[in-house]
Structure 1
Amino acid sequence: MPNQENTARLLPDVAVHAQPHLAGALDWVGMAEIQVPVLFDAGDGQPQRSSARVGAFVNLKRPDKRGIHMSRLYLQVEQALGTQTLSADMLRSLLRGFLDSHQDLSDRACLSIHFEHLVRRPALKSANSGWRAYPVCIEASLVGDQFLLEFGTEVVYSSTCPASAALSRQLIQDQFIHDFAPGETLDHAAVLAWLGSEKGIVAAAHAQRSVARLRVRPAAGAGFHLVELIDRVESALGTPVQTAVKREDEQAFALANGSNLMFCEDAARRIQKALDADDRLGDFHIRVEHQESLHPHDAVAYASKGVEGGYGSIG
């Protein structure tokens, strides 16, 4: 029986054989959708282990080389992400490992990590609470000594249209004039009963589920303060979707919607102002999407911090 060393020598490696007729440098080569656990600290002191999908890539700068060493990338991803808490230093070290293992082939490396992070959210009024799963995307790249790190998430909320609210109020006024003639002595109990009836509230403003997609570049040493970021955005909007809901919570949510009428432009500016006040963010990009209940299309707005050389394109 051949020993392990002899067996390894007998295994063919066709990747080492160049194909001159197909020579050319490649921007990125690697693997997508690698399945691996990650340990993530969202800044609340409660690290969670989650199931993640990872993309790991390097460029192939040598046109005469047929391929990269994908198994080296995979093993480094599995070892680092499976055993260490996600951090800027860990990701930089992992990307440096990608390049060190491809010294003759690559001078750029990048990594993307997608998973969901659970956060327990209290009800608006009752003593109940429930879990919300927030998607997290972390992207990191290393070009020479230039390390770039970004992370993103989504906040889902309700948006009630200000124009629809104004038109609804006008219809309610019209109904009031119809039911209570000018000059008629108004009876307090009758008006109160009218306001609590379907006849009184003849129109309601349209609202829709909406999504704020956030992508941020943390300042040096800032770390991943995901929970505080979510809290800041949800507080600015005033109408985040709820988990456990009793009647008192639903009523409080209706009040929040009526107190926070907003177009997509309003929502984007609210978030922009809230994130501008966070000096832990070097830059940020916001995409607000109101999934219209009136139209078959969405209303969308973009905003960013406006750092020179930072975000600015639609995407």
Structure 2
Amino acid sequence: MKNIVVIGAGTMGNGIAHTFAQKNFKVTLVDVKPGNIEKGIETIAKNLDRMLAKEKISEDEKNQTLANISKSTNLSEVAKSADLIVEAATENLDLKLKIFTQMNEFAPENCILATNTSSISITKIAAATSRPDKVIGMHFMNPVPVMKLVEIIKGYSTSQQTFESIFEMSKTLGKVPVEVNDYPGFVANRILMPMINEAIETLYNGVAGVEEIDTVMKLGMAHPMGPLQLADFIGLDVCLAILNVMYDGFKNPKYAPNPLLVNMVMAGKKGVKSGEGFYDYSESKKAEKVAKMFLK
């Protein structure tokens, strides 16, 4: 498999495209909005520049990685020659089912169809296609070029051949693939999201403030990032979507999203991506931090 199509140029999509391209796969980054693609390519270039500055890659490797990436808004055209299509769109079931219907229609019979979903049933997604044996989950972690883990999730009908192909391919990407069964939230988010939700519950009940909660988890539990800061980084809308999938799937109140999380998402406070979540990421706040550094 050498020709890879990645659908969605957002944080996960451009990270997945970057990762494949850096290992000399030919990648086409697809998005319905040309502006999203340009922004995605810019992000990849900036991340490569950081790697270059840290001497993790050479100038030639950076240029070759960028040369390995093509851009398109036309899935029907680029899917025709794809060996693997990785869907990395928003965590929304209806949208994913629509995309997989299109992937199934346009891609050749031998093409594997993968989803980067962080919680939605692979079996349910595969049912939208005529090739459920070739549908699989590849749940990368954010930031994709840095994080080693990939959850490899088989749906009810995913063939062993498909599984083994994707499992081995993940190793060629420099990742550590882990086989996971098809249940809501899989492993990573089934454990992570209740912890984040409980941190929000702790804040909601007035037990401690945002920074205090994160400090306890960083210094007391050796977490590199506090749960509220991590939620901002993931995207509060994404956290809410994952919790809703698990709540609907298990019918267990422990997965019910906290009202504070629901209200923040409805108010447009989605974390880093919106400029504000549990922390303030606005330009004015950044300028304030810089000023404080110089005033010290």
Task: Report the TM-score when normalising by structure 1.
Answer: 0.23
Which structure has the greater CA radius of gyration? Answer: 1
Structure with bigger strand share is: 1
Q: TM-score, normalised by structure 2?
A: 0.24
Greater helix fraction, Structure 1 or Structure 2: 2
